[in-house]
A and B are shown apart, each in its own frame.
Chain A
Amino acid sequence: MTSKSIIAIIASLALGAALGLIYGWVIEPVEFTDVTPDLLREDYRIDFVLMTAEAYQNDFDSEAAARRLALLGSAAPESYVVSALEYANLNAFTQAEISALQTLLTAMQTYQPEADLIP
């Protein structure tokens, strides 16, 4: 085998690999269909927090609100509300929405899971 042939084979291998990567990353990427809420885009996550805040205004159920916020990840519930409030202030949310988020933030800051109350 001549050196020319070896170079041609290596070049072909590299070209094939490049084509494979393009196909696998761009043309037909792995499709995720069962994602978890923590992978939602920021505006969707904020809207989820806002919905939780609106629901909290109706039922005042801190337990349910904390459980809903826990879907977004393992961080403390109030951290999601703080992020949502920052986003809301930057993106011209209505005063009622900001007020709802603030109410939820207060509730989450004072919320203690039932498990912690059990001696």
Chain B
Amino acid sequence: MTRNSILQIILALLAGFGLGLAYSWLLSPVTYVDANPSLLRTDFKDQYRVVIAASYAANQDLTRARARLNLLGDSDPVAELSAQAQRMLASGEPFDTVRPLARLATDLQQGFASEPFTSTPIPAFNTPSAPQTTPTAPSEFEVSEEPTSTPPPTVFFEQTQLIPSSQETATPRPTFTPTSGPGSPFALVGQETICDPGMSAVMQFILMDGRRNQVPGVEIIVTWNQGEDRFFTGFKPELGNGYADFVMEANTVYNIRIVTGGAFVADIRTPICTDPNGAEYIGGVLLTFQQP
């Protein structure tokens, strides 16, 4: 075989390889039909998280919610939830939509469900004797029953369940509620100047219930002469469930209103701090609110 022939064979080999590659990458690429959630487009991942959080709000199954979030392949699911919650708030989504995300982020951070699982008056579609309040009860693993049998037509809306549930809340249960009621007023119990160059001009909030547990999801309104900002506690669970912050501007007076309970604090402004060299810089403020 001549040298020329060898060259022709190599060229033919390369040409064939190129054609094969073009066919497999461009004309007929591998098509995914069994994708996993980590491959979802970013906006669909956001939707997926919203549904996970909404599901968690219903069943309070933190293990399952964590497993579902892991499917999305986020390196830090808690940070991702918090970031998404803030993005949604910034885009004007109602807080009721965002709240489950914040709640899930908080609960993942602390490792347990912060709200006790409360039964909802779900109409038992055709299994009136099925347990409605404890979806993880071991007895429910018995799936041999035929769920579509014996549908009694009048048991769809057992409104009488509403009455006992409201009565239960009126019954004294001193050790059951981890947080104060949403309507309990917050009072300012601490106002500190933070002289830390890293927290310059940052107004920090910590909101606690009567047992000094931090409370997420509390709306705070900051107003000043040129505008207003609204935000919620709990969107930075790494800093605390009842934490929120706001960046101030120098020479501006701020008024604070805690929406829940109506606490009002006026005349907050950036403090002046001095570093060890005698140079002045703008400090931060830490406001601590607590329910009675």
Contact = CB atoms under 8 A, between A and B. Distances in A.
Interface of A: 5, 8-10, 12-25, 29-30, 32-37, 39-42, 44, 47-48, 50-52, 54-55, 57-59, 64, 68, 71, 89, 92-100, 102-103, 106
Given A55-B57, A58-B54, A16 B18 contact: yes
A44 B5 CA distance: 55
B147 A19 contact: no
Contacts of B8: 5, 8-9, 12
B51 to A, nearest CB: 5
A102 B13 contact: no
Interface in B114-156: 120, 122-127, 130-132, 134-137, 140-143, 145, 147
A35 B43 CA distance: 10
Contacts, number: 194
Contacts of B122: 57, 99-100, 103
Nearest to A105: B125
B57 A58 contact: yes
Nearest to A67: B47
Q: Which of A17, A21, A22 has the most CB of B within 10 A?
A: A17
A56 to B, nearest CB: 8
Nearest to B146: A89
Contact of B127 (A47, A97, A99): A99
List of 9 A-B pairs having minimum Cβ-Cβ separation, nearest first = A20-B20, A16-B16, A24-B24, A55-B54, A58-B58, A12-B12, A96-B135, A51-B55, A30-B29
Interface of B: 1, 5, 8-10, 12-25, 29-30, 32-37, 39-42, 44, 47-48, 51-52, 54-55, 57-59, 68, 71, 120, 122-127, 130-132, 134-137, 140-143, 145, 147
Given A13-B13, A58-B120, A95-B145, 7 more contacts: A18-B20, A20-B17, A20-B24, A95-B130, A95-B143, A95-B147, A99-B124
Nearest to A5: B5
7 contacts: A9-B12, A16-B16, A24-B20, A32-B35, A35-B41, A50-B55, A96-B135
Nearest to A9: B12
B34 A41 contact: yes
